Chain A
Amino acid sequence: MLYNDHFGIYVDVAMPVEDKSKSLLPFLSSPKLLTDESEAEFQSGLQSLLSELDNPSPLAVALVSQLNECLWWIRRHTVDKELLLHEAMARLLSREGSNWMGSGNSALSVALEHYLNGSADKDQADLIEEALTDGNLTLSDLRARAFKDAARHIKMVDDLIHRQHQTMRHLQRSIDSIDYKSRLIKRMDLELAALESKQSVKGALTLDDQSS
Chain B
Amino acid sequence: MTTNPRRNLVNQSNALKSTGPRSVAGKRASSQNSRKHGLSCAPDFESSIEYRALVELIAEEGFSAFVCADIASGLLNYRRVMDAYYDTYTRPEPVDEFLRDMNVKASIPIFSELLSPSGSKHQDVKEMANFFADMQRQERRKGGPISRRSADSHKLIRYQRNGIARLSRAIRQG
B4 CB → nearest A CB, Å: 35
Q: How far is the CA of A40 from the CA of B146 in the complex (A)?
A: 26
A56 CB → nearest B CB, Å: 11
Query: In the complex the two chains form, is B150's CB within 8 Å of A173's CB?
Result: no
Of the candidate stretches B19-27, B30-38, B127-135, B156-164, the one touching chain A is B156-164
Could you mark each residue 48-59 of chain A with 1 if its beta carbon is under 8 Å from any beta carbon of chain B, else 0? 000000000111
Query: Chain B residue with minimal CB distance to A7?
Result: B50
Within 8 A of B (CB), among A153-212: 153, 156-157, 159-160, 163, 166-167, 170-171, 173-174, 177-178, 181-182, 185
| Residue among B57, B82, B145 facing the most chain A CB atoms (10 A cut-off) | B57
Residues of B within 8 A of A163 (CB): 157, 160-161
Could you mark each residue 77-94 of chain B with 1 if its beta carbon is under 8 Å from any beta carbon of chain A, else 0? 011001100100110000
**Contact of A106 (CB < 8 Å), options: B58, B62, B97, B150:** B97
Residues of A within 8 A of B168 (CB): 170-171, 173-174
Interface contacts (Cβ under 8 Å), in number, total 114
Query: In the complex the two chains form, is A84's CB within 8 Å of B150's CB?
Result: yes
A88 CB → nearest B CB, Å: 8
B138 interfacial contact with A, CB 8 Å: no
Residues of B in contact with A (beta carbons under 8 Å apart):
49-50, 52-53, 56-58, 60-62, 71, 75, 78-79, 82-83, 86, 89-90, 97, 100-101, 103, 140, 143-147, 149-151, 153-154, 157, 160-161, 164-165, 167-168, 171-172, 174
